[in-house]
Amino acid sequence: MSKLPSRRGASLDYKAGRSSQGSDISSTPTQKTTASAGRIMYIEQKSGHLTGAARIGRVRFSKTGRTLYYQGRKFQSLKGAGFKSNYLDVDSGEDYWISGPKRKGDDALYGGSTPIEIDEDVREEYWRNIRRQPDRIHECVA
């Protein structure tokens, strides 16, 4: 006696087939990516001050996600123990605030009007997908 697939199993098979086509799944700009591809992040150097030099760039994550890599630097998570910072530059010992960029552009921990430099390799993706302002893709500063 052959067993027919249940309604639930057939439904799952149908959904799995549709999701592989990519028609139902849309990636969001804030969705975490794989460790090898990296993710666009807001990076602000604190160095004992409330605000500091800031930039938007692509960071790579370690397998555990506790260590970030950006432009040859290694940042270790402070796991909530930092004062106005959440990462530490392993080599220099300087404090940093690193977080995902926001659509409105108010990325700084304490606000302010400090200019934020945008790395050339992420500039277009940042303006188009995160800020959703494609007319500004030529701007290097947010």
Radius of gyration of the chain (CA): 20
For residue 84, what are the contacts with CB-CB under 8 A and spacing of at least 6? Answer: 46, 50, 95, 97, 109, 110
Domain boundaries defined on the chain? 39-136
pLDDT for 26-82, tens place per residue?
Answer: 444 444 444 457 899 999 888 767 777 889 999 999 998 889 999 999 999 888 766
Pairing between β-strand 116-118 and β-strand 54-61 as defined by DSSP bridges? parallel
Instruction: Tell me the pLDDT of the chain averaged across its residues.
Output: 77
